[in-house]
Structure 1
């Protein structure tokens, strides 16, 4: 499992979410948006998206859970967690695919925020 968290300022929640929803599947021939959920309570909102992609290194599929949270005009909180790359039964082994998936998402986010 690999985790990345970031506080994002001066970005529109809906625009950022939409860009990530398109950029992540476009970044890999096997990446897909599998499911999503959205919550809103007062001025707070939370969006969760689950992506999957195939890992050539591990020979299996990996998942990425992406969460965006914002309360009113406060900064957006982003959490990205990858998992699923291990092949061992009792301990984690071969997590290269998880790390690579997360690094790809970090690079995409950087490109989106710079653009």
Structure 2
């Protein structure tokens, strides 16, 4: 498992769109699995789950994105999982880290 978290300023809808489009265009095998949106007053939360095939690790990797927004204050958590071929412990995390690199580059570009 690998994790990336970042607090930053921006527009919730456009940020979510940039992240979604960037994940799907960042890998030929990336798919959008499911998501959920929640609003409580002026706080918004969007959860998105993606999956892709890792050519380096020769396996599938999933990523959960959670974007929390209060006005222009945004907080993103991206967590990847999967990617190991071992039974009792992880022997590689290349696919997970590569999936997170995509998100980090997108957020840094905002």
Whether these two folds match at TM > 0.5 is yes
Please point out which of 89, 96, 99 is paired with 1:98: 96
TM-superposed deviation, 1:109: 2.1
CA deviation profile, 1:62-114 (whole Å, cap 9, x unmatched): 0010000013x251000001111111111111111101111122112222x1x
1:63-102 aligned at under 5 Å gives the runs: 63-71=62-70, 73=71, 75-102=73-100
1:1-115 aligned at under 5 Å gives the runs: 1-9=1-9, 11-71=10-70, 73=71, 75-111=73-109, 113=110
Name the Cα RMSD after superposition: 1.1
Q: 1:89 aligns to what SS in structure 2? A: coil
Q: Give me the TM-score of the superposition, normalised by structure 2.
A: 0.94
How many correspondences in the alignment? 110
CA deviation profile, 1:9-67 (whole Å, cap 9, x unmatched): 1x110111011111111011111111110011111110000011101122111001000
Runs of 4+ in 1 over 6 A off after TM superposition: none
Which is strand-richer, 1 or 2?
A: 2
Unaligned runs of 5+ in 1: none
Q: 1:57 aligns to what SS in structure 2? A: coil
